[in-house]
Structure 1
């Protein structure tokens, strides 16, 4: 297999009976398997359990919905419409476990197991950075063996990695993948956080990619230093802006075999963009955010039907629902600047890197562009955005 096809899920390392494979970061900060050849007995399990070496699953019977969580508090903590929060709440109420990406105290994104309702907030919200999986697949397998219910959320390749690791279906497992654009490296994100803290004279204590507090649902983020919350404009921020343009992803993201409607998970969630197209046909609160939800399997259908008392929903055709999410049809195209950024990261400080290679708008130019946008009616903007995302 071409190294650039490796998605870093770690299924090979967690499947190895001799524990002779470990996941280690390369010079860009992305994790790849390293094999101790002296300990390897060439059993072939690493290849058998590699999702990238398996045929994709076909999903001919998908159904699509707009979803909004009925619990306003959980909805406020969610990046979009709270579909994940509604799913997770049901599992936790049944004494199950929920697995997803969370920030550690040091703001490292890691997959963790949550078993208490009061900890669910850790898994909510977007994390636009590669998540470290560690031995999470093994932990999930142990919980499933106890007969307890598990909800596992992650990027499509992480779900595919879990499926390959388990090698069989579990009736007590539900998987949820994301309408993923791609993931930058944790090393780049760590350097960015350090730079952000130095700019403000404090350590960054908390970071939020999608903060609904300042202006409601959207792409606005925030970070906290010494208890002070600062709003983050994604188009004027070097890390966020380059993420949105797809310039800092893992190599495998640009050739992602899951960036289509043949999803590896029971359910797919993402933002639903373009609700203005359905004015007068819904009773959603647009400012609080809306989720796209795809039902991909019979298990997914059963789980979704069980949410009837926790969410508002409206059915759409798959193409209507997905039109604002281009990565549900194709991977992000790899830009030429991508390799330059990671090469320069090896020798430059983040400040030098962002000045010369991480292009972002000045606040003044952003305000000019925002003023221009206001001159175009929202329905027309939404239609154009949906068309552009479909073609990207």
Structure 2
């Protein structure tokens, strides 16, 4: 296994920044590339060759896993929690449990600048913002250092993030009794630059400032996921299947290079893995049109925590041979020349880029949507009836 610090190959770096944190002489800084992803850069003159950075890299580590692998389909007993969650409302119960034992929760939010970042909090109002999927790479900021400080004081912390972010925090702190980790069935991390370009495109298209962005609204129900976008003058619902941004994300075109070589598709090292229980039969007793979750309990700690919160769910075990259809179980597929794609989008807007890089069958859908929008605008201006 390799590390970016030796290979200089971006496929070997998840941008976790642990190497910068552990450097005893602070000779490593974060440098954002043209794609919006930050990579470590070493000041050779300051470096003392202690090798701490390489040792801290989770990409070259081998994590021991516990052979529990308990798989469960479930939904929250509270309808409100289902409606305000991505699928069945599991994360919020893990968070509430952590708060009940005096702990903190660290998860991703969309801030006021429409940027995705992690925050650490013990306030339920903040934790509510951590719910739901965000299809953009999250900026961890100083959360890892803050988590370590709390854990050293004997305070529990629930960390929620991508599998590689979970690997990073475990590599940094170790498997500590005060650290609870949950990840999810991950499709990759999309570039913040691509998301910003998409926002600019939407603001131009709808001639209004974008206020908030929900990546997984249930306005059309759970099995028909869509973006819900609030502008100053209107609210817009865009189904995933009609969204150029979602297509680029789901097919790996806008994701960071390491996502194509993810080590954690099968190697689950978190306490609990969350996901959608796609493919569950509508006649199943736990089916809900507004969301059913899948969880994989990976550790003894995860099992103990689930036992503490299980009364909040309707659930059943998934047995051997019974495996729901996952849209997120395989490695993202790079069907677009990623280097060429990012070079192009640097100097062109989102619409111009998608015209070049979307496949023909998607172009037809996209053009049909453009025609619909043009007709809507002509109707609004009174040119057609």
- Taking structure 2 as the reference length, what is the TM-score of the superposition? 0.88
- Helix, strand or coil at the partner of 1:196: helix
4+ long deviations beyond 4 Å: 363-366
Q: How does 1:137-156 map to 2 (within 5 A)?
A: 137-156=144-163
The answer for the alignment partner of 1:130 in structure 2 is 137
Q: Aligned-pair distance for 1:229?
A: 1.5
The answer for the alignment partner of 1:304 in structure 2 is 306
Q: Does the aligned pair in 2 maintain the 1:64–1:318 contact within 8 Å?
A: no
Q: Does the aligned pair in 2 maintain the 1:63–1:318 contact within 8 Å?
A: no
The answer for the alignment partner of 1:385 in structure 2 is none
The answer for the alignment partner of 1:275 in structure 2 is 280
- Helix, strand or coil at the partner of 1:210: strand
> Which segment is superposed worse, 8-17 or 287-296?
8-17
In structure 1, how many angstroms separate the alpha carbons of the residues matched to 2:211 and 2:327?
33
The answer for the alignment partner of 1:252 in structure 2 is 258
The answer for the alignment partner of 1:238 in structure 2 is 244
In structure 1, how many angstroms separate the alpha carbons of the residues matched to 2:321 and 2:120?
34
Q: Does the aligned pair in 1 maintain the 2:88–2:292 contact within 8 Å?
A: yes
Q: Does the aligned pair in 2 maintain the 1:268–1:296 contact within 8 Å?
A: yes
- Helix, strand or coil at the partner of 2:182: strand
The answer for the alignment partner of 1:202 in structure 2 is 208
For 1:163-189, what per-residue CA distance to the aligned partner results, in whole angstroms no more than 9, with x for missing partners?
1111x3221211001100111111111
In structure 1, how many angstroms separate the alpha carbons of the residues matched to 2:319 and 2:28?
44
Residue number among 193, 202, 208 corresponding to 2:199 in the alignment: 193
Q: Does the aligned pair in 2 maintain the 1:8–1:30 contact within 8 Å?
A: yes
| Structure-2 change in CA distance of 1:204 and 1:318 (3 Å) | farther
The answer for the alignment partner of 1:362 in structure 2 is 365
Structure showing greater radius of gyration is: 2
Q: Aligned-pair distance for 1:131?
A: 0.5
The answer for the alignment partner of 1:381 in structure 2 is none
Q: Does the aligned pair in 1 maintain the 2:336–2:357 contact within 8 Å?
A: no
The answer for the alignment partner of 1:264 in structure 2 is 269
| Structure-2 change in CA distance of 1:254 and 1:288 (3 Å) | same
Q: Aligned-pair distance for 1:138?
A: 0.6
- Taking structure 1 as the reference length, what is the TM-score of the superposition? 0.86
Gaps of 5+ in 1: 367-392
For 1:7-38, what per-residue CA distance to the aligned partner results, in whole angstroms no more than 9, with x for missing partners?
11111112222222222211111111112222
Equivalent pairs counted in the alignment come to 359
Q: Aligned-pair distance for 1:217?
A: 4.8
In structure 2, how many angstroms separate the alpha carbons of the residues matched to 1:319 and 1:202?
50
In structure 2, how many angstroms separate the alpha carbons of the residues matched to 1:38 and 1:318?
56
The answer for the alignment partner of 1:371 in structure 2 is none
The answer for the alignment partner of 1:345 in structure 2 is 345
The answer for the alignment partner of 2:325 in structure 1 is 324
Gaps of 5+ in 2: 370-385
Q: Aligned-pair distance for 1:356?
A: 2.0
In structure 1, how many angstroms separate the alpha carbons of the residues matched to 2:358 and 2:182?
32
Confirm whether residue 105 of structure 1 aligns to residue 86 of structure 2. Answer: no
> Which segment is superposed worse, 14-23 or 302-311?
14-23
RMSD: 2.0
Q: Does the aligned pair in 2 maintain the 1:99–1:112 contact within 8 Å?
A: yes
In structure 1, how many angstroms separate the alpha carbons of the residues matched to 2:67 and 2:105?
28
Q: Does the aligned pair in 1 maintain the 2:118–2:140 contact within 8 Å?
A: yes
| Structure-2 change in CA distance of 1:291 and 1:362 (3 Å) | same
